Structure 1
Amino acid sequence: MTTDTGRTAERTARPGELSSGELLGRALDGALGPDPRTLRIAVAFTTRQAVRHDGRSGGYRNEVLSLRLAEAVGSCAVEPGALPDGAIEDCVGADVARLLRHDLTPVRIAALDAYLMHVLPHTPGHGARPVSLAAGDSLRKSRARAESVTRLLDLAPGRTVLVVGVVNSLLEALRSRGLRYLPCDLKGGTTEWGEPIATDALARLDHCDAVLASGMTLGNGTFEPLREHALRHGKQLVMFAQTGSAVLPRLIGAGVSAVCAEPYPFFWLDGGPGTIHCYGGAP
């Protein structure tokens, strides 16, 4: 599908040529906005969360590194406990260019996300379609987000979606549309309905019609194989992104077909109304 927002993003991405690493390189070169050597991170922080929604049998934990650049916050999720203690101190006061070259992938992604959020915020002028999330408890807001995410998939009932980064509300929304899914997550385990969760998503790429993936794949190094597969085979790759919410929209047309972008603060932090931003897909 081609929409005005899709055309805007495709011009930015130069279809077929831009990887996430190349996007980072352009940011370093100052090709996307101000010289990153002139911009400094004022605040760095982590957010740790554990959740078990009412009515759900299982729960999960999240940990997110966030960097504040002027009015923008960039984020990258990490496995709980995986971020070294000194990473936050390493980021505070550092210029963005140094963090874009940092040894830790989550720091590089959070820095790129903050930079792009600063340069290309989530506005209609940059291709975003704001979607309001009503106030409610954590499960209600999770389900509302899931509806917006799954609407970005253009698939008929009976088709199969590879879901990378299992969120039960997303699986529930896919089930309600009559879509089949292959759940994959590095943590493994089972879904709310007792289905086994595979740990190797790449091994299942040939068995799906489309891919629905978490922005966490940017931070753990599994995103590029998904993007390349989608580009090579003409499959839809829809991203739901708290990690890299400002990064992934720039890759629409270069393997990514649509993005549900959710910058900090995330829906699970606040029971009040919120906003997510959709790029590509059906209006």
Structure 2
Amino acid sequence: MTAAAGTARATTYDQLVEQVLARELGPDPATQRIAVAFTTRQAVRHDGRGTGYRNEVLSLRLAGAVGSCAVEPGTLPDGALDECVGADVGRLLDHPLLPVRVAALDAYLMHVTPHTPDSGARTVQLPPGTSLEKSRARAKAVVELLDLQPGAQVLVVGVVNSLLEGLRSRGLRYVPCDLKGGTTEWGETVAADALAEAERCDALLVSGMTLGNGTFESLRQHALRHRKQLVMFAQTGSAVLPRFLGQGVSAVCAEPYPFFWLDGGPGVLHRYRADGPGTRPGGDR
């Protein structure tokens, strides 16, 4: 796929920010103001599961677009929303808080390049259902982006139990990783240092949350250097991560706000591949 100027690829995260500030991808970010800033907080324990988790996401609205970045629950300062509302994107791209910078970049890129076929996106409809049913449907759409034979081992960064189920259903082994460590629903140890585990894995399945905690670049570089598949599942930075297709990122399952866990109705995901849609088994059809 040949990228137009509006969907030009970046080689590093910092370069992407520089392209935005230089007005190479759209209008001057200093002229684009955030109208609404909000957080979404969630606690969940799916029916039939023994463990639960919490999420908190910062979202910024620019015109008709919403950009988002997950944060560790309770870590976002109270004044962050006030600092974002009415501020221009150019200023927020220099904000001291990384999640604010990521959410602002995501909002800008969502505004200038929404998830459409012209941008390389292929839409997947999520059916309505319970929280667990929708979680499993989302996981299926993500796992399908991996082109691996049974027995291969996947580094999973950002533990989602439904994703681990989806990998097992395909006969794939995995190494679960999360900065907080702990154990999975099935008592498996969760590693805290993803990069240290990456060497023994054949592919990487990584949450967009790595943008917000500063670990994305090292994983992208590892995948690029070792020519491994890197599939991103992205509520954080859903419009940011497709910019790295072919630069270490092989595929993205982008899920902009509103997220699947907010209600029981139907939902939408957008899948991207570095080599274009429909060219690998198990992909978009």
Task: Please give the TM-score of this superposition, normalised by the length of structure 2.
Answer: 0.94
Pairwise CA distance, 1:8: 3.9
Distance 2:18 2:263 in 1: 35
Match of 2:66 in 1: 73
Residue 120 of structure 1: which of 113, 120, 132 is its match?
A: 113
Bigger relative contact order, structure 1 or 2 (CA pairs below 8 A, ≥6 apart) = 1
Distance 1:272 1:19 in 2: 37
Match of 2:83 in 1: 90
Please tell me whether the aligned partners of residues 125 and 267 of structure 2 are also in contact (alpha carbons under 8 angstroms). yes
Match of 1:224 in 2: 217
Match of 1:28 in 2: 21
Pairwise CA distance, 1:9: 8.7
> Deviations 1:34-64 (Å, cap 9, x if unpaired)?
1101110000000000000000000000000
Please tell me whether the aligned partners of residues 7 and 119 of structure 2 are also in contact (alpha carbons under 8 angstroms). no
Pairwise CA distance, 1:12: 4.3
Please tell me whether the aligned partners of residues 154 and 204 of structure 2 are also in contact (alpha carbons under 8 angstroms). yes
Q: How many residues align?
A: 276
Mapping 1:122-141, distance limit 5 Å = 122-141=115-134
Task: Please give the TM-score of this superposition, normalised by the length of structure 1.
Answer: 0.95
CA, structure 1 residues 154+10, in 2 after alignment: closer, same or farther (shift >3 Å)?
farther
Pairwise CA distance, 1:193: 1.2
Please tell me whether the aligned partners of residues 208 and 238 of structure 2 are also in contact (alpha carbons under 8 angstroms). yes
Matched, 1:150 2:143: yes
Structure 2 residue identity aligned to 1:180: R
Structure 1 stretches of 4+ with a deviation exceeding 6 A read none
Residue 205 of structure 2: which of 202, 208, 212 is its match?
A: 212
CA, structure 1 residues 183+57, in 2 after alignment: closer, same or farther (shift >3 Å)?
same
Aligned to 2:181, what secondary structure does the other structure show? coil
Matched, 1:42 2:35: yes
Aligned to 1:93, what secondary structure does the other structure show? coil
Please tell me whether the aligned partners of residues 128 and 134 of structure 2 are also in contact (alpha carbons under 8 angstroms). yes
Please tell me whether the aligned partners of residues 58 and 99 of structure 2 are also in contact (alpha carbons under 8 angstroms). yes
Pairwise CA distance, 1:189: 1.2
| Percent identical | 74
Segments of 5+ residues of structure 2 without an aligned counterpart are 274-279
